Structure 1
């Protein structure tokens, strides 16, 4: 009897008490659900055992990475419908003790079979123990995410090799004339202008990645740059690019923790997409260290993804898929918390620019790059790793589009005692 898909649909609807928004196609050939739009394909009953043993996002993520579930049709539409289905009904989720839920779980167990849970895909990082954000643990987390091979990142990021959101104008919308590379260059230049860089100043680039901002700042503004990263692969790649561009006399790349930088003062500090790795327990220390490394009047540009504040902040938990497969130990903070902590560390916050929509556009370009280079990406890493990145980037794009997360550039100044910040009187006139 081919009835797996209707039974799966019934399970989801009993759990969340609402019609399931996608058509389901099961391994036995059965289908169920609305006829239009993308189809959730359950290729193997093993996916159900993963869900039984780890209900929620981690079980689904493991099934996705293992190739046991997939989407036939537009991935963004599927993720948008699924995320809305879950997001809007979290408060309505019934208790596991509810008779209807218990009946649905028994049905799912019968459908998935009695075997024990399958082992997690090899791409999943092992659960960590001990204190968060020690130097050793941060090195391991960064290595998991960034040391998967520079050629893989070349496929995803394109020639700019910038791993943070680009800065688009209206031509950057789908079908527009602006390329990802031009939009990334616009972002790098925006950062330099906000920092007010001039020739022979010293810039510290915290989390310098593959060296793109350091090269732009040195090449276009004549500054001397120190870039720090915990990724040895990033550092090697950046040094090679810098040498090829003839900028070794102006840029130094170090494999170094930001907590170990001792050679201030700097005229300016950039932290672009790095603070998400710092963690709430270390954020004040991070802010104070950067404040201490700046000269009076020096500027900090902190470019950081933010989440919405929880009604009960103590109940906030990290996304399990992101923590196990993408950014181990990464944490998002609300914008208000970031601004308050920077001020507590002694900074004067002078400008906050939300560029949420820009990240959604950037992520869609990265996904398109990955899909276009799929076969090579799989050869360079693994099928599971490529699936992790496709899901993570597409789901993140939907989250930015739906304003579930945001990204902000916060410009802060180590204002001298005399109060002269050195910033222009009119905001957004960066020079």
Structure 2
């Protein structure tokens, strides 16, 4: 005797382009019906509108729009669900064997989801004009950083450091690991009292304050986020370092007061883009004195196949980092060397970023209601998905993060660094 398929069973047909046929997750429909393994995390569809999004975009962007809008959710472990959806989360085309178009249309019609493509949630951004002009870069940075300093403090903790921490052992805390990362950078740069440090993309001033307080250097920090600049100045003044820390609302292309003894670029170069990276590296080379050191801390695509460009229609580029671009480590190293630098050390920190993102995610979950109040429900949902997905990308070696230490050579060939790495150690 035939039985009428449940709403959840019919949903599985519609989700086939996304689920790749045998993906082991549960589906729960708005009427409470379920299908799939009982012990698997459940993708919960609250609203038929989510299905219309997926009919139009059967890939990560369709899923992301439904997630940000609150039309789908997860019951169970978000990380586990994302791992099981990895093929669509990390591939744009949706791929897989799709059921016949007529069958899809019949199921969609029976569920009442046919219709025009719904508009994306208001948190989605499309950047007008040519990528990486100064005006477009300001808009892209403002979209991500000018949200709420208090929102970032909830997630990042008191350190207000928005790049991967440096975990010496399993007993470390996020704040200690971030302090250790700042100190690692200062040691690699060989900072000494009286030197000048340029902090490109200085964020909320944490590295600038640490370098000035612990190493006695004078620091110029530049950012194009107004909220970051305002808070960084306030934090430097509260630390009694306003005479040694200058925070500028300034594009790196506008810095002309070199030479500096050292330059740090931490979590900033991902926003530059490979098309203008050669010019970026040339500017830093020109601003650094001969014998000076550059510390470039940058997320990298693991291979050319995982590279991300500014026109990528992915969740990350539409909701998190507009115009953010990732290239392999080798591409970045070549561009830095082409500018005239000599690379002297490279340290991979991929596992460190996975741990850091897990801690940020815990902070968000622990302060969820306050985060929603500060940034709005849609933005909070963006961050929940973004940090979990990125943690998994680092854990599964899809992306990495590296510190490149480079020097501007002396014209007479003198070696500006000691012969061994002992000076890097604490």
Deviation at 1:421, TM superposition (A): 3.2
Q: What does residue 276 of structure 2 align with?
A: 282
Larger CA deviation: 321-330 vs 399-408? 321-330
Report the counterpart of residue 107 of structure 1 in structure 2.
107
Taking the aligned partners of 1:323 and 1:23, their CA distance within structure 2 comes to 28
Look up the SS of the partner of 2:424 in the other structure: coil
- 1:337 alignment counterpart: 331
CA contact (8 A) 1:307 1:335 kept: yes
Q: Which of 36, 44, 49 is matched with 2:47 structurally? A: 44
Would you say the 8 A contact 1:21–1:85 is kept in 2? Answer: no
Q: Deviations over 1:26-73 (max 9, x none)?
A: 112110111113111111111011112223111111100010001111
What is the deviation of 1:147? 0.4
| 8 Å Cα contact 1:322-1:328 kept in structure 2 | yes
Asked if the contact 1:424–1:430 (Cα under 8 Å) also holds between the matched residues in 2, the reply is no
Question: Per-residue CA shift, 1:294-329, capped at 9, x if unaligned?
Answer: 000111100000012235979996352111111111
Residue of 247, 263, 266 corresponding to 1:272:
266
Change (3 A) 1:47 1:298: same
* Structure 1 position 167 matched with structure 2 position 176: no
Matches within 5 A, 1:137-156: 137-156=136-155
The residue aligned with 2:26 is: 23
| Change beyond 3 A, Cα 1:111–1:29 | same
8 A contact 2:60–2:88 mirrored in 1: no
Q: Distance in 2 between matches of 1:82 and 1:223?
A: 48
* In structure 2, distance between residues paired with 1:322 and 1:179: 27
Q: Which residue of 2 aligns with 1:398?
A: 392
Asked if 1:373 corresponds to 2:367, the answer is yes
Gaps of 5+ in 1: 172-176
CA spacing shift, 1:71–1:430, aligned 2, 3 Å: same
Distance 1:76 1:311 in 2: 23
- 2:344–2:406 CA contact under 8 A, matched in 1: yes
Q: Take 2:100 and 2:38, find their aligned partners in 1: how far apart are those partners? A: 26
2:9 pairs, out of 6, 9, 21, with 6
CA distance in 2, matches of 1:312, 1:226: 34
SS in structure 1 at match of 2:85: helix
Q: Does 1:54 align with 2:53?
A: no
* 1:178, distance to aligned residue in structure 2 (A): 1.2
Task: Give the equivalent residue in structure 1 for 2:77.
Answer: 74
Which one of 316, 322, 329 corresponds to residue 322 of structure 1? 316
Q: Distance in 1 between matches of 2:168 and 2:367?
A: 26
* Secondary structure of the corresponding residue to residue 298 of structure 2: strand
Q: Once superposed, what is the RMSD of the aligned Cα atoms?
A: 2.2
Matched pairs, number: 422
* 1:420-431 alignment runs, 5 A limit: 420-427=414-421, 429-430=423-424
